[in-house]
Structure 1
């Protein structure tokens, strides 16, 4: 079992009037049935390629060849992209790097997803670009931030290593067809990989977009897809798809939204390796559901840190949030807290304990405190966290989001409202003269 999803503390029998009745939850679960039937039809027809990715290993050998070249050639790898072009890779890479560099001795991977000029100056000062590889990801090939990032890096790289250095250091991932990024790559003879044209950025983590950085870091891409497949199969091909974990998750989320007026959903992992998972989910949920006045606002929190920054609001502020805690069994793990250094009576509770014991207690205490205060709570319990489990979690939340969109009657795969900002950005740049 990859994970356990526990929803009992979302029910009125556990959290009183703040929770759902069994009848309310059942009604929303039943509504997921037609949505999943449509997904099954899209799987059968191939209309939604995302659903076929978990069973397809044909592309992985070619991706591994590229990953091996980057591993063997560079001390650092910079991934240029924003939104889904970056967050999926960051999420997978966090399995081996929680901020202190990779454990397996491969290159450091840096995800640059903004255009802050100070960041780029630091980048150029601190990295040896002659020993640095670049992966440039933009599905449309016209993302202003990504193209600007790439041109800035190319200019510096070619100044140091000559024009021919670009083709040895850079790789572009963009959709087939003519677009500005592909045109630039062709002009400079850069290698280009096709971004799956029918898979949007926020759903692309299981494709080359997310898996190439992961494989450069030495992660097992087959295990990621294998974990995703277990969740997909349990959802599309079970005797009762409405009882699948993603269907239940979607039913809980939308039932609270429509029945209880809960317009905020808090995802709070207690594992540093899931920190970027919260950022990935935030985009997935917000951009997929925020349409036509619908949707709920995803809030990313981190345990134990945000117990000391947000918990006061959660417990004593407006009751407008559904909480999802993600916990890992870490009891008995980690550094032993030295008895020789614990002499103060007030610290006696730490004697003989390990770091994991403290984290385990914090997880349990937060969950129980939320429930005791009438806050609806969903738990994801993990016994381990590896590529297989991460793949399962990624697929769970993608399916939960798609099913939730079906319950709301919105398109999970477009984002029409953000186009205005892109148009204005280009206009303001032009107006600068």
Structure 2
């Protein structure tokens, strides 16, 4: 098998391929242009979105040429694949702004520079709004729509699931548009391969069939395992919700902690998928006698370094080590924690404890904070809070004039008094 494809297999990415042997032969003969797409439905990706782009990284290193496609056009409609309801509609201005944010996030795993390092493929980003926004609907139906069979489309799992709950006509068009993307990228960029999560299988196959009918060319599809955790939960979900890449939505400290606290059974698998460590080095963590916590710390550090940079990864590791090692006596050791400032005058008046916790990432509402206190999981500077009506004032401050809030054993929040 082609070495780049073998790398993806060995690291646990690959679920299925339309013709693995033929694709392998093609990649042995030439550097292949390939693409993966993501719709800019928000200003941030979450870590579950990143699986195809981590795979892209390995293919780029092998000299193949990635095209990262942001769906500025398809985001205006919505993909029914894997969804149980119609996607919220966005304005063109929201979509355009989201596209800008997503390029920066994808740039953490792909090299978009004009002159990548020797041996690496050249990565580019494209936006399907460039060709979808100006489509003439009548021409599109005549030239593209005639190649699609409704009966064939309804055999794909993504449509079958949605038919039970209701499938809008606008969503039914999504497969045609994604197929047209593949055709356009084949024509403009020479793309021969589309990659994506396994829920995209039907859309990918439809695009391959369209290219075959219109251009008489053979293209390929490669899908990846949909990542779930050993506990059965969806990858990228935490107590706070989605594990976003945007640090304003999910802090680097919380990001580090998410990976540090993964299930023991997931660690090696996630090291292969979500870090760039050599497989030989990862294998060292599987040996008898190796402390699983060392592997978890390495996973958390490497993943945080990739997404947020080395400085933030160092801060997060230092803060986590201080917290769980009981050595959080210096302000420097807390630098990586999520935090906010509070005026001393506000604190001296007394702040209801439920409001205080609800103003942080530790509780979304006063009701959440109440449950936290009643469950015995609320702490301020190592003082357990047992009264839901307690007022927090300056008497709670530690030697650094700070409030260090804790929810349970692992979640911290720092309030800096000004």
Structure number with larger C-alpha Rg: 2
TM over 0.5: no
Higher helix share: 1
TM value normalised by structure 1? 0.28
TM value normalised by structure 2? 0.29
